[in-house]
Amino acid sequence: MIPSSPEAPAAARRFVSEVLAQHAPNLAESTVDDVRLITSEMVTNAYRYGTEPGDSVLVVIVPAIELVRIEVHDPRRKRPEYKPESVTRARGRGLFILDALAKRWGVDDRPFGKIVWAEVAC
């Protein structure tokens, strides 16, 4: 569990690095970078739109032979939404990053909130 705060994405990136170094040490560095970036974007969305002060998010990393699965659990059922493209806004590109880097991604409901997940090919 990672406390929902502005520091959550950095904590999630460190967690990803530790998990993959221990459980998938031969994973290509470019794949590790993609998993870190996707996780960071998903946790950022969970922090900004899926939590309230005092909440936490759960980050799950499951390395397998052909892919790495990333899950971010948060306590709200509100699903992620694409933001219109804008050259003046520095935010709103997270789902476009998921589209570009993940093999596939989606959202599942859970009893108290949702799980946003993505799978990255190895």
**pLDDT (tens digit, 9 = 90+) per residue, 33-50?**
999 999 999 999 999 888
pLDDT of residue 50: 84
pLDDT of residue 17: 96
Residue 84 zone, left/alpha/beta (φ > 0; ψ -120 to 50; rest) = beta
pTM (whole model) above 0.85: yes
Which has the closest alpha carbon to 108: 84, 80, 89? 80
Percent of the chain, pLDDT > 90?
67
Q: Is residue 75 pLDDT above 60, yes or no? A: yes
Structural domains of the chain, with CATH = 2-121 (3.30.565.10)
User: For 100-110, what is each residue's pLDDT tens digit?
Assistant: 999 999 999 99
